[in-house]
Amino acid sequence: QADIAMYYAKDKGRDNAQFFTSEMANVVTKKFGIDKEINDALASNQFALVYQPKVGRDGQDILGLEALIRWHHPDKGFISPAEFIPIAEESSLIVKIDEWVIDNALKQMSQWRTQDLEIVPIAVNLSGRHLVSDSLVPYVADRLAKYQIPGSMLEFEITEGVLLQDIQRCVEVLTELKALNIKISIDDFGTGYSSLSYLKRLPLDTLKIDQSFVEECDTHTEDAKICETIIHLAHNLELMIVAEGVETASQADTLASLGCEIFQGYYFYKPMSADAIPSLFSQRLVLS
């Protein structure tokens, strides 16, 4: 009981006198319940990866794939990563999940490579806690070697918020990842409360414009201006730019006219199972 109270109080800050109410107990029990379920899910293969392509301006060229985790719970059915990733991020469970994702994405890529597919880099979302941990770089180096994948075929997507917590440590880790030729993207760019100064300190490759700006870029001038500014910023810093969550031709056209080169979203492709990926590449070869 004392452990649980401390666990809860940690979130609320020390100065805040807290009474341990039954409502709080419910919150905590639920949290620990999910922790156990995530451990079970890792042990019994309840997670799967889907892959969402990133495409060029014409929508034909597939330039990359993003691995996204899916949880098919035996009783509760589908649970969204938006629901369980934030909970996992409160403990070291997220490291186990991220390692599972890295291992499975690289294993999948090695399978595609033995099928002689002309495969593109795979992006994996990485939590902040994992990024700054000592274990990330050795783990990734080990898995790249195990599956004989060049680091240039792997990309990590990290959110801005992560970078602000410990910028010096982030510089160190990202520099080590760059030494392995791994690419780094900033995910959901524009939604963190960041100072822009980190952009010049970190060895980045890509900014991903958050979907919230893309959504109304073709109907609201302000959103178009924000997209344009982010695209110019990226280009001035010699970074690539990806627009996320593109759902309509009109959004894609607007973004292209603002200088965006890489697109991701339901308008082009939804996240798809690994089985569906090979035909995507053979289809492209037939077309060209």
Residue with smaller CB distance to ligand C2E, 24 or 91:
91
Instruction: Check binding of 160 to ligand C2E (CB under 6 A).
Output: no
Smallest gap from Cβ 80 to ligand C2E, in A, equals: 5
Residue 192 binds ligand C2E (CB under 6 A): no
Binder to ligand C2E among 82, 145, 285, 286 (CB under 6 A)? 82
Q: Which of 157, 160, 218, 223 binds ligand C2E (CB under 6 A)?
A: 157
Q: Beta partners for 206?
A: 185, 240
Q: For ligand C2E, which is the closer residue by CB, 2 or 82?
A: 82
**Residue 85 contact partner, candidates ligand C2E, Mg ion, none, CB within 5 to 8 A by sort of partner:** ligand C2E
> How far apart, in whole angstroms, are the C-alpha atoms of residue 73 and residue 38?
10
| Residue number, 126 or 177, with CB nearest to ligand C2E | 126
Site pattern 200..229 for ligand C2E (x: CB under 6 A): ------------------------------
Of 37, 98, 155, 223, the residue at the interface with ligand C2E (CB under 6 A) is 98
Instruction: Decide if 230 contacts 217 (C-beta within 8 A).
Output: no
Task: Give 74's Cβ-side CA count (13 Å radius).
Answer: 8
Looking at beta carbons only, is 52 or 206 nearer to ligand C2E?
A: 52
Instruction: State which residue, 5 or 272, has the beta carbon closest to ligand C2E.
Output: 272
Shortest separation between residue 244's beta carbon and Mg ion, angstroms:
5
Q: Which tokens go with 57?
A: 């301006």
CB of 224 to Mg ion, least distance (A): 19
CB 147 within 8 A of CB 107: yes
Residue 80 sits in the site that holds ligand C2E (CB under 6 A) = yes
Residues 116-145 that bind ligand C2E (CB under 6 A): 125-127
The answer to whether 37 touches 84, Cβ cutoff 8 Å, is no
Residue with the shortest CB distance to ligand C2E: 265
Residues 33-62 that bind ligand C2E (CB under 6 A): 52
Among 28, 245, 258, 262, binds ligand C2E (CB under 6 A): 245
265 binds ligand C2E (CB under 6 A): yes
Query: Binding of ligand C2E at residue 171 (CB under 6 A)?
Result: no
- Interface ranges with ligand C2E (CB under 6 A): 52, 68-69, 80-82, 85, 98, 101, 125-127, 157, 187-188, 244-247, 265-266, 271
